[in-house]
Amino acid sequence: MENNYLKIRLASVFGEKTSVWVASLTLAFLMLFAHLSTYAQVCNPALAMTITTFDASDSVTANAKIKVSGIQNSASRIGLSVGNSYSGPAFGASPTYASLVGGIVDSTLQTPATAPGRQYTLRVYNFDGSCFTDSTFYLPYVNYNYTPQFVDIETTITRSPSGDVPMGDTVTVTVAVINRGSLTATGVTFEVAYAAGLTYFSNVPSIGTYSDATKIWNIGSIAPGPGGTVSLTMRYIVTTRGIKEITAETLTLDQLDLDSGPKPTIQDANIEDDEGQICITTHRDWCPGDEYTFTLASGIYTDVVWQRSTDNGATWSTITGTNTFADVTGSGLVIKQMGDYKYYKDSSALSCGFEGCCPIKVIPGLPPILTTPTNQVICFGAPAPVIESANTQAGYTSTTNDTYGIQDELPPFLSDQGSFRYQWWNNNGPSNPTLDSLTGEDTLRLNTLPTAPGIYHYRLVSEQNGHISCRDTTEVTFTINELPIPVASSNSPVCAEDTIFLQAYNSEPSNPINPILPLTWSWLGPDGWTSADSVDRRLLATEAMEGNYVVRAAYTANTLECASTDTVFVTINPLPDRPNAIDTAYCQFIAAKRLSALLSSPVIDHNGDSLRWWHGPVLPTSVDLPDTTSLIGHNVGPFANTAIVGQDLWFVAQVDANNCQSHLDTVRIDIWDQPDMPTVQDVAWCQDYPSAPLTAVHSPGNYALIWYGLDKTDLPGDSTVTYPAPPTGVVGTFTYWVSQYDSTHNCQSDTIDFDVIIHDTPVQPNAADPVYCLNQTATPFDHTILQAPNDYLTWYWLTDSLARPATPPTPSTAVAGATWGYVTQTKMYLSPINDTLRCESPREPFLVTVNPLPVATVIPVSAICLGTLTQNNGMLVLNRFRDNDTAAWNLGNTYNPTASTGPADLAGNHLVNPIPSHGILVSNLPNPSGPSDNYTVRVTNEFGCIIDVTEPLIAKDCTCPGGYCEPATVTKTK
């Protein structure tokens, strides 16, 4: 029910004396096939017409009338016949609508004799006869004898507010029903329906009940007359924009309503007085590009006139054809701009049957209003800038409703407004040559920016959610200039007084889209030095020029300067000190020696580690290469030329680890006649023997010696008369060097060497220490201790020396005690002066020990007698023995070294160790069978010296013990 449609409306009017039934039938048709040309064809859509009947003045006068109106073309022809189908004149015989007076088709009709009346069919031919439209109706029966009893239901619908209702507001609709007949209407129900876009809120019926689910208002009875009017008040919430229609129509009725019929009836194709309808319009919001199509529900647009108002309905202008604001088409009105729009369909702009034919208001929408972001330019590597737009759309103001003729004040945003979505897009920039959307970039801020140099175009599009033509777009350019990358270099390290060379170049390749423009260069260095060239130099470097040299490369593109720097540290190394060149003199024809240049002393700055030499006599220039290089020290330089007597010049400079060269020093070389070498003689000494200072004989006159010891390169040597006595601890031949020099010219001879021979001194012999017992027979000393075959021994015994005796001496053992002696070993050499050199070893001491003999004595004790019986308890008792002496005894006159096998074997050796303190060696000797038995006792002292003592054990005679007889008596006792 978005748009109104036209229907036939039938009305009855009663006069005071006569009953005049007036039926107004309005048919709304649109001609879709006007090109048809056959008379027998029904027009589609049907031709519009309105038929009105007028009652006769009385029952006998034939002056009832039929009038037609609402004909859209005055050239149309009109025909009439009796019955429910047309049988009247053809197109050519029918009069034109323009020829009818007041639209009266026939004014001579007789009043029908019976109810409900007489049927007629009226035909309207199209102006060109191509088609026709028939309408069948009744000329009603009129009872002139009594007042008719009938029911006539009429419906009206009103609303509040009466104008545009903004979305989200509430509208109140009142359906009023009156029975204008003479009978009470019973069984009355109404269908009250409403279009989508309205949300039911509440209902208040004056009678009966209403169900929103069925859309049925159950009224019941309606009394006739104004006093019986009933109403239903409905409240709806507007939820969509556009035109919403509310209709009310009789659904059931017990009685017959002559000019209306309950739904559905054959008359339902017409708009009857028991039907009501009303339009609720909610303004459309328009944004550029929007088009709204205003269509009619019937789809019939014949003689529809469209109008537009730009002053909120105060004045209206008719719309035809195609315009910038709206286009009239065969299927409606296409609205393209703001304004108020409506239509009518009749011969007059004032003849629209209802609400001004549902006007619709179109006001400005609320698209986003985006600010334009500032174009951004950065240099490569700089922090990303903020690229952001703002939406300044604030919505409707408090006076917007007044501006556009809306009753109530509008909120800033209606429910379908104020919600926007955003999307960033590539905008076909040189570095982003697409129109693709950027995933995830759906806010006012462009969050993810490129980092590579280039020119990027972006576009931000914002749309109102649900209304995409309410949109705005803005563009921005983001430029990333290439950043030059200077690379600085120098010839550092630089020696003082040399030239500093500086250069720089850009290592960053140029971007073809926004290339690096020609660069400007600037240097800033120590001591306030500046330069505007990429390549430059500084002469005569000083240490104040040492430090960081910063080069800056810059260019300006897209109004932004992009610059970068690089730093190179230049080291200024000081020059080493001038070397201490040693002037020297050489004797003519002496083999050339290397020149000497020593470290600077005292050190002013620092010394170097090598030398450069230039041969004179001309001073070298800075570009002259050295003739040779050398280490620093004595005799390290080039060889002097000693062939010509006179003076030769060399120039020398120190070079340090930094390859810095000092100032030159001059070496002056005087060439004098070379003296002869001094006279020397080889000498020899025995190892570890004292030596004497070394001597040499120089030439007569003003000459002196220079000693070099064992190393002739040990400059400058020792000018003493003699050289310290050489050491003799190591056997070998040692070469010593000596030269002489002329003290007048300081001209030195060649060195001459002589040998100092240190002969091997034999090692001392390994002599044994002999040990004897007193009076023991001694043997000669051992001559086999000689260490080398050709050496000889010297014995020092009793006398001071027995040089090379024929046989070794024999020591004496006649006296107990110890006597020291010595022995040496001697080797003989031929000395350098052809005499004999004897090298005697250190003395080897030896000790001759004569140990004393034991002094013990042996006392034999004979056995005792017990009566006349011998007890076999003879003893050997040792006297004057030492505690550490040992003793052994055996039977016999000599000591038997064989050990005894048992007590019965007295001939064997019986060892007694230790000797008991009482000295009894044995106490069970048998009484000799003869006069005596000899026993031998061997006593050994702690030195191993022995004595053998043989003593007789006297036999004991027990016949008369003690040598006397004891008187005795014998008495018989039993």
Average pLDDT over residues 921-942: 92
Question: How large is the average pLDDT for residues 50-65?
Answer: 87
pLDDT-derived band at 558, boundaries 50, 70, 90: very high
The average pLDDT across 160-175 equals 88
If one looks up domain 283-364 in CATH, what number appears? 2.60.40.10
- Check the CA dihedral 349-350-351-353 and report its sign: positive
Lowest-confidence pick of 379-393, 525-539, 624-638: 624-638
pLDDT at 270: 45
What is the third-level CATH fold of 149-281? Answer: Immunoglobulin-like (2.60.40)
pLDDT for 287 beyond 60: yes
In tens, the pLDDT along 244-271 reads 888 888 999 998 887 666 765 444 444 5
Highest mean pLDDT among 272-286, 473-487, 947-961: 473-487
Q: CA angle, 941 as apex, 935 and 943 as ends, to 5°?
A: 140
DSSP annotation string for 78-142? EEEEESSS--S--TTTSPBGGGSSTTEEEEEEPPPSSSSEEEEEEEEE-TTSS-EEEEEEEEE--
CATH of domain 25-140: 2.60.40
**Whole-angstrom distance, CA of residue 701 vs CA of residue 824:** 49
Do the bridges between strand 242-252 and strand 209-211 make them parallel or antiparallel, or are there none, so unpaired? unpaired
Question: Which residue type occupies 688?
Answer: D
Whether 283-364 shares its CATH topology with 492-573 is answered: yes
Residues pairing with 706 in the sheet: 739
For position 308, what pLDDT does the model report?
Answer: 94
d(CA 742, CA 728): 32
Residue where the block lists tokens 């070998």: 732
Residues 6 or more apart in contact with residue 960 via CB below 8 angstroms: none
Residue 14: Cβ-neighbour burial (10 angstroms; 0-12, 13-18, 19+): middle
**Is the model's pLDDT at 838 over the cut of 50?**
yes
* 974 pLDDT higher than 70: no
pLDDT at 611 over 60: yes
The whole-angstrom distance between residue 282's C-alpha and the CA centroid of its chain comes to: 59
Q: What mean pLDDT comes out for the span 147-171?
A: 85
When mean pLDDT is compared across 408-412, 452-456, 561-565, the lowest value belongs to 408-412
Unique residue bearing structure tokens 């008187």: 967
- pLDDT number for residue 269: 43
> Measuring CA to CA, which residue among 242, 249, 241, 233 is closest to residue 171?
233
Assigned CATH topology for domain 580-673: Immunoglobulin-like (2.60.40)
The ranges assigned to domains in the chain are: 25-140, 149-281, 283-364, 376-481, 492-573, 580-673, 683-753, 771-851, 857-961
Q: Which of the four pLDDT bands, split at 50, 70 and 90, describes residue 39?
A: very low
Cα gap 858→934, rounded to integer Å: 12
Q: Above 60 in pLDDT, residue 12?
A: no
**Most trustworthy range by pLDDT among 309-323, 815-829, 831-845, 949-963:** 309-323
- pLDDT classification of 868: cutoffs 50, 70, 90: confident
Q: State pLDDT tens for residues 388-431.
A: 999 999 999 999 989 998 888 889 998 888 999 999 999 999 99
Fold for 857-961, please state it. Answer: Immunoglobulin-like (2.60.40)
For 444, the enclosing helix (H) or strand (E) is none
Q: What percent of the chain has a predicted confidence (pLDDT) above 70?
A: 88
Instruction: Provide the residue type at 774 as one letter.
Output: L
The two tokens of residue 701 are 């006159």
Res 17: pLDDT:
30
Rounded (5°) CA angle 36-38-43: 55
Beta bridge mates, 65 = 54
With contact defined as beta carbons under 8 Å apart, do 94 and 46 qualify? no
pLDDT in tens, 322-361: 999 999 998 888 999 999 988 876 544 444 443 346 788 8
- Whether the pLDDT of residue 31 is over 70: the answer is no
The pair phi, psi for residue 735, each rounded to 5°, is: -95, 125
> Is the pLDDT assigned to residue 581 strictly greater than 60?
yes
CATH architecture type of domain 376-481: Sandwich (2.60)
Beta bridge partners of 464: 420, 467
The whole-angstrom separation of Cα 141 and Cα 148 is: 11
Q: Is the pLDDT at 877 greater than 80, yes or no?
A: yes
C-alpha to C-alpha distance for 176 and 451, rounded to whole angstroms:
73
- Angstrom distances, CA of residue 349 to CA of 169, 316, 343, 357: 30, 10, 8, 10
pLDDT in tens, 481-514: 999 999 999 999 999 999 999 999 999 998 899 9
Residues paired with 552 in a beta bridge: 522, 565
* CATH architecture observed for domain 492-573: Sandwich (2.60)
Tell me the C-alpha distance between 79 and 98, whole Å: 13
Cα 540 versus chain centre, distance: 48
Under DSSP, is residue 552 helix (H, G, I), strand (E, B) or coil?
A: strand
SS3 (DSSP) at 532: coil
Closest alpha carbon to 718 in 746, 699, 737: 737
User: How far apart (Å, rounded) are the C-alpha atoms in residues 506 and 501?
Assistant: 17
454-464 vs 77-82, strand pairing mode: unpaired
Which whole number is the average pLDDT over 853-873? 89
What backbone torsions phi and psi does residue 402 show, to the nearest 5 degrees?
Answer: -65, -40
pLDDT digits (tens, 9 = 90+) for 66-82: 999 878 788 899 999 99
Distance CA(774)–CA(947), nearest Å, equals 11
Q: pTM of the entire structure? A: 0.49
Q: Given a cut of 60, is residue 4 above it in pLDDT?
A: no
Instruction: Give me the pLDDT at residue 905, please.
Output: 61
